[in-house]
């Protein structure tokens, strides 16, 4: 470890010290000095913390903000250990740079992956401030305490604010990690409290903080038209006619990469689909010109998917019985089924869905000489830098990426092809370009949540679930692997808990691109699994909650020490809490029902109970009671908001969201044909968070999976109709 | 050519396609970006503004049809202090991604300006045109009720006789 500090040569001009340090954690978790930078009027204690002369504490959030709240919650972790006064803290998006590590938003990982790092960052900065005070006052470091951006010396009654100490603190060597102590949870002042979103004040006055608001001087506007059948090639177009239209600057074909793109290649990909770019003086001129564009498409490389045919093919596979491949097998499944008191057998099918985040994809890219600058709401800025350098054939050092708040993510912004489209357009015309996907583009060229097809069989003996069989019919683009989230992931429950389990899989050809959609695989598996368990309980004449708790058992951690794994005590606690809050077992009027769902995903143990009423084919979801154990709470308000929102999103998706595909092209185009839940249909949501004392897990995803089974189990209890297909509009039901 | 009063200031649009939706004229030509593009077909409400005091989808208004009319956007809602709805949105920590919230606030504020104490059903009806993909409806409703307590019917709408000029 070495330290070097540049002294500003103009020190006499002002009284404060302009020296600062750039500090970051290495990939091994150690602390190293990355650089020394002179910073005007600020004390940069490390790559995450700056304290200026007014006492403002700027804390940088390393991961992208797409509505999951990390621009607030990640700085809170630093502020807690720093003992910064939260009122003085300004939260900012960090630059995209290697010293910030894995800058992405996915897998509900932002909080858990940064937890240790950011606590150490805050504690290290606090230690430096204390050492500076100790030196200044000639007292022992151990006699100093901190609170609300102040260092105090109890013995002498002396105190100093961080702003007074930061200049000296920035010039002392960064302490060894071993000399820095982290707080225990019982000492937290900020974590676990309700803190308002750091961007709330900007949001309520309409400040231009979103990706769509980015601008660059001299910027032009572009739209990019792709083959409706995914993967087709633009052969020719009436470019001259389009170029002659008002406001149009240029129109040209981009070769792109034919064929449906593969989400799995994301990390090392700068591919984008073939198409026609229209560049104009404003967005409207580009959109309007598009209506006059005629393209001759070459469909030879395009998807020919038909979602109805795919669903029928999958159904035939499921009806045929055995799968082609064993995915998982434990115990003696055949014996368990042969000796069972009762068995159940049911087929569950879920349609493709789109992300439909409210801000359509868009980006500003400026290719200038041998460099490029990108303003993007990507969920994976970490994957842009090298890939765009490869695309443009430039040095990665000449790539600057700005991460900007995104209007919703849900997995939609994990792929970066809008960036590469815009880069190609900017390179061609030599100007900064704002590329705006229309809503229709966004819905037509998504990486959809895969349609999924399961046949579930269960064996019950002595009132206990003893056998579990699952045949999966999975779409595959390459005939070897399931498409993203079309297959199975080894879930602890029931896989590791039920003694006799067989998971089998058969593939069928499907080219429609699929990708992560909020809680991938979990969001469909939970529906089938938790509905089917309720089916078996009903068949056995046992209360669903009792049957579920029996199935979960009491063995504690399934994988000791693995926070991702099932902990049956955590599972039982959330099921007990949610059912208690909902008044499980209470008498309900005719046509009303309660339903329960539990799922563990992304290390979050979550149970939900829904109360619905059914009148004819109209379903009203009145209330949802949710209990969550996601470990140590960072921002309680942000967490509760994610939990409430996941419930609403869950109802939204299960109600009527379905992407249909004909001739490889998506039929739905906007919110009229692909409805999102609106306020009148939205349930009341009652959330409670359980403090289990474990490490924090992310909260963006795990509350979604239990919702659909909870509601469908409630519908069954209300009217006796078992729903085995999503969306429930497939079965004639409407959520009102 | 059209002259539109935007947040109390006359904006003259020259040389623009009269069929250009107000949404894009505001975003690309006036630099007012609080209005958000979500769907372009009047389904989502992210582009909600007030037209002569009524909540309206700016993607469904064309510049050419607005000569002499008065528009209020989220940028023009606060006066000396935030509008009670804006303050309630902060106090109730409503936003997740926040993209829809300017539109939600404009619809909610338009409701409360006329009906300061709406019932749940009236709130539902007034807000049904605004989609929140993050699902913050629970908090939107709480915030509207909180703001309702701080509201009395008032004349927030811009005085049409103001005459500040600007041309884009």
Note if the bond before A467 is cis, omega within 30 degrees: no
* Residue A43 phi, psi dihedral angles, 5° rounding: -110, 110
pLDDT of amino acid A447:
97
**Model confidence pTM above 0.90:** yes
Q: What is the pLDDT averaged over residues A123-151?
A: 96
Nearest CB partner across the interface for B96, out of A67, A282, A356? A67
- Over range A599-621, report the average pLDDT: 97
Q: Which of A285, A287, A645 sits opposite B96 (nearest CB)?
A: A645
At A5 the three-state DSSP class reads: coil
- Check if B114 contacts A (Cβ < 8 Å): no
What pLDDT, on the 0 to 100 scale, is given for residue A28? 29
Is the pLDDT confidence value at A407 over 70?
A: yes
Residue of A nearest to B140 (CA): A679
Is B135–A680 a contact, with Cβ atoms under 8 angstroms apart? no
Q: CA-to-CA distance for A677 and A630, rounded, in angstroms? A: 26
| pLDDT tens, residue by residue, A431-471 | 999 999 999 999 999 999 999 999 999 999 999 999 999 99
Measured between CA atoms, how close is A438 to chain B, in angstroms? 8
State the pLDDT at residue A39. Answer: 33
A408 in Cβ contact with A414 (< 8 Å): no
Q: Above 50 in pLDDT, residue A181?
A: yes
**Sequence-distant (≥ 6) Cβ neighbours of residue A200 within 8 angstroms:** B89, B90, B93, B94, B95, B98
The interface residues of chain B toward chain A in range 75-104, judged by CB-CB distance below 8 A, are 75, 77-78, 82, 86-87, 89-91, 93-102
Q: What is the ipTM of this complex?
A: 0.93
Q: What CA–CA distance (Å, rounded) separates B105 from B89?
A: 8
Residues of chain B above pLDDT 90, percent: 86
Residues A662, A605: contact at Cβ < 8 Å? Answer: no
Kindly give the residue spans of alpha helices, DSSP state H, lying in A492-601: 522-540, 544-552, 568-582
Q: In this predicted model, what pLDDT tens digit does every residue of A640-682 receive, in sequence order?
A: 999 999 999 999 999 999 999 999 999 999 999 999 999 999 9
Residue A118 reports pLDDT greater than 90: yes
Is B101 within 8 Å of A208 when comparing Cβ atoms?
Answer: no
How many beta-carbon pairs below 8 A join chains A and B? 195
A701 an active-site residue? yes
Q: Which of B55, B59, B46 is nearest to B98 (CA)?
A: B46
Gap from A304 CA to chain B (nearest CA, Å)? 27
Whether the Cβ atoms of residue A409 and residue A211 lie closer than 8 Å to each other: no
Q: Which of A482, A478, A459, A461 is nearest to A469 (CA)?
A: A459
**Partner-chain contact A670 B41, CB within 8 Å:** yes
From CA A670, how far away is CA B44, in angstroms rounded? 10
pLDDT grade, residue A25 (50/70/90)? very low
Bridge partners, residue A612, by sequence: A593, A621
Determine the average pLDDT of the residues in A276-295. Answer: 98
Residue B127: closest CA among chain A residues belongs to which residue? A679
Task: Give, for all 168 residues of chain B, the pLDDT tens digit.
Answer: 899 999 999 999 999 999 999 999 999 999 999 999 999 999 999 999 999 999 999 999 999 999 999 999 999 999 889 999 999 999 999 999 999 999 999 999 999 999 999 999 999 999 999 999 999 999 999 999 999 988 764 444 433 334 445 555
Set of chain A residues whose Cβ sits within 8 Å of the Cβ of B24: 282-284, 287
Q: Which residues of B touch A282 (CB under 8 A)?
A: 20, 24, 28-29
Interface of B with A in 32-71 (CB under 8 A): 32-41, 43-44, 46
Q: How far apart are CA B47 and CA B26, in angstroms?
A: 10
Q: Would the CB atoms of B93 and A208 count as touching at under 8 Å?
A: no
DSSP A640-681: HHHHHHHHHHHHHHHHH--B-EETTEE---STTTS----GGG
Best residue in B7, B44, B48, B137 for a mutation probing chain A (most A CBs within 10 Å): B137
Check residue A43 and give its pLDDT. 57
pLDDT digits (tens, 9 = 90+) for A471-493: 999 999 999 999 999 999 889 99
Task: Report the distance separating Cα A358 and Cα A423, nearest Å.
Answer: 23
Give the pLDDT score at A7: 29
Q: Does the pLDDT at position A29 exceed 80?
A: no
Rounded to a whole number of angstroms, the distance between the first and last alpha carbons of chain B is 10
Could you read off the pLDDT of A313-359 as tens digits, one per residue?
999 999 998 899 999 999 999 999 999 999 999 999 999 999 999 99
* Amino acid B122: pLDDT: 97
- Rounded to an integer, the average pLDDT of A594-600 is 98
Nearest-angstrom CA–CA distance, A651 and A735 = 8
Per-residue three-class SS string for A483-509: CCCCCCCCCCCCCCCCCEEEEEEEEEE
The pLDDT value given to residue A495: 87
pLDDT at A132 over 70: yes
Q: Residue A8's pLDDT band (boundaries 50, 70, 90)?
A: very low
Residues of A in contact with B140 (CB under 8 A): 679
| Predicted confidence (pLDDT) at residue A37 exceeds the cutoff of 60 | no
Give the one of A199, A246, A642 whose C-beta lies nearest to B98's C-beta. Answer: A199
Given A81, A417, A701, A731, the catalytic residue: A701
The pLDDT assigned to A47 comes to: 85
Are A597 and A659 a contacting pair, CB within 8 Å?
no
Buried b (16+ CB within 10 A) or exposed e, A630-642: bbbbbbebbbbbb
pLDDT tens for B95-111 read 999 999 999 999 999 99
Instruction: Give the residue from chain A lying closest to B100, CA to CA.
Output: A358
**Minimal Cα distance from B16: which residue of A?**
A247
Q: How far apart are CA B35 and CA B59, in angstroms?
A: 9
Does A269 score more than 60 pLDDT?
yes
């Amino acid at each position: 470890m070495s330290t070097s500090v540049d002294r500003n040569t103009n020190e006499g001009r002002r009284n404060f010290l302009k020296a600062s340090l750039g500090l970051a954690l290495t990939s091994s978790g150690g602390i190293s000095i990355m650089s020394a930078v002179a910073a005007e009027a600020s004390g940069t204690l490390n790559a995450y913390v700056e304290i200026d002369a007014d006492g403002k504490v700027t804390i940088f959030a390393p991961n992208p903000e797409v509505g999951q709240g990390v621009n607030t919650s990640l700085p809170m972790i630093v502020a807690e250990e720093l003992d910064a006064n939260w009122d003085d803290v300004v939260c900012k998006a960090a630059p995209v740079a290697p010293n910030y590590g894995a800058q992405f938003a996915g897998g509900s990982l932002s909080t858990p992956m940064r937890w240790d790092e950011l606590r150490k960052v805050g504690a290290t900065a606090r230690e430096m401030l204390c050492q500076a005070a100790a030196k200044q006052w000639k007292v022992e470091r151990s006699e100093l305490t901190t609170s609300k951006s102040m260092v105090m010396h109890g013995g002498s009654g002396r105190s100093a604010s961080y702003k007074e100490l930061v200049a000296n603190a920035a010039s002392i060597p960064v302490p060894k990690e071993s000399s820095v102590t982290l707080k225990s949870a019982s000492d937290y002042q900020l974590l676990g409290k309700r803190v308002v979103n750091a961007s709330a004040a900007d949001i309520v006055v309409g400040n231009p903080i979103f990706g769509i608001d980015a601008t660059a001087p001299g910027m032009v506007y572009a739209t990019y038209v792709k083959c409706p059948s995914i993967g087709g090639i633009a052969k020719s177009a009436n470019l001259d006619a389009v170029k002659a239209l008002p406001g149009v600057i240029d129109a040209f074909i981009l070769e792109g990469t034919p064929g449906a793109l593969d989400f799995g290649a994301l990390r090392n990909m700068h591919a984008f689909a073939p198409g026609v770019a229209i560049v104009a003086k404003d967005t409207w001129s580009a959109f309007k010109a598009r209506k006059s564009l005629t393209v001759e498409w070459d469909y030879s490389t395009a998807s020919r998917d038909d979602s109805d045919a795919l669903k029928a093919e999958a159904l035939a596979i499921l009806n045929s019985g055995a799968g082609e491949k064993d995915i998982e097998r434990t115990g003696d499944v055949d014996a368990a089924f042969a000796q069972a008191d009762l068995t159940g057998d049911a087929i569950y099918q879920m349609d493709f869905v789109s992300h439909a985040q409210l801000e359509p994809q868009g980006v500003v890219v400026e290719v200038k000489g041998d460099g490029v600058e990108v303003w993007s709401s990507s969920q994976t800025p970490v994957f842009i830098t090298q890939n765009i350098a490869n695309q443009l054939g430039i040095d990665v050092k000449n790539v600057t990426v700005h991460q900007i708040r995104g209007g919703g993510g849900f997995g939609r912004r994990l792929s970066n092809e809008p960036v590469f489209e815009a880069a190609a357009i900017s390179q061609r015309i030599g100007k900064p370009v704002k590329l705006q996907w229309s809503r229709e583009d966004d819905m037509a060229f998504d990486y959809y949540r895969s349609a999924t097809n399961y046949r579930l069989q269960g064996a019950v003996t002595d009132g206990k679930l003893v056998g579990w069989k699952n045949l999966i019919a999975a779409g595959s683009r390459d005939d070897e692997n399931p498409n993203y989230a079309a297959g199975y992931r080894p879930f602890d429950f029931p896989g590791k808990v039920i003694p006799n389990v067989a998971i089998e899989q058969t593939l069928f050809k499907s080219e429609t691109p699929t990708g992560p959609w909020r809680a991938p695989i979990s969001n469909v598996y939970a529906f089938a699994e938790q509905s089917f368990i309720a089916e078996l309980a009903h068949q056995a004449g046992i209360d669903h909650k009792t049957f579920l708790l029996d199935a979960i058992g009491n063995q504690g951690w399934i994988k000791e020490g693995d926070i991702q794994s099932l902990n049956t005590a955590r599972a039982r606690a959330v099921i007990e809490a949610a059912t208690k809050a909902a008044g499980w077992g209470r008498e309900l009027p005719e046509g009303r029902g309660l339903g329960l769902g539990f799922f563990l995903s992304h290390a979050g143990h979550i149970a939900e109970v829904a109360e619905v009423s059914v009148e004819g084919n109209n379903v009203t979801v009145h209330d949802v009671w949710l209990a969550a154990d996601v470990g140590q709470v960072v921002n309680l308000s942000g967490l509760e908001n994610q939990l409430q929102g996941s419930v609403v999103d869950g109802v939204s998706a299960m109600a009527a969201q379905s992407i249909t595909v004909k001739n490889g092209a998506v039929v739905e185009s906007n919110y009229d044909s692909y409805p999102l839940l609106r306020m009148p249909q939205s349930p009341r949501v009652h959330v409670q968070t359980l403090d289990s004392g474990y490490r924090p897990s992310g909260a963006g995803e795990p509350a979604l999976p239990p919702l659909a089974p909870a509601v469908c189990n409630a519908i069954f209890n209300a009217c006796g109709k078992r729903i085995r297909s999503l969306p429930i509009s497939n079965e004639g039901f409407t959520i009102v | 050519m059209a002259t539109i009063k935007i947040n109390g200031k006359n904006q003259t649009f020259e040389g623009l396609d009269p069929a250009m939706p107000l949404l894009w004229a505001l975003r690309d030509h006036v630099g007012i970006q609080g209005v958000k593009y979500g769907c372009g077909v009047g389904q989502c409400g992210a582009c909600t503004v007030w037209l002569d005091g009524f909540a309206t989808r700016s993607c469904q208004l064309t510049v050419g049809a607005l000569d002499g009319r008065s528009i209020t956007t989220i940028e023009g809602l606060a006066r000396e202090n935030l509008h009670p709805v804006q303050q309630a949105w902060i106090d109730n920590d409503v936003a997740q991604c926040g993209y829809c919230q300017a539109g939600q606030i404009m619809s909610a504020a338009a409701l409360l300006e006329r009906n300061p104490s709406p019932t749940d059903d009236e709130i539902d009806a007034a807000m049904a045109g605004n989609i929140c993909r993050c699902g913050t409806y629970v908090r939107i409703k709480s915030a509207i009720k909180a703001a309702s307590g701080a509201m009395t019917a008032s004349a927030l709408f811009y005085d049409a006789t103001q005459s500040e000029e600007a041309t884009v």
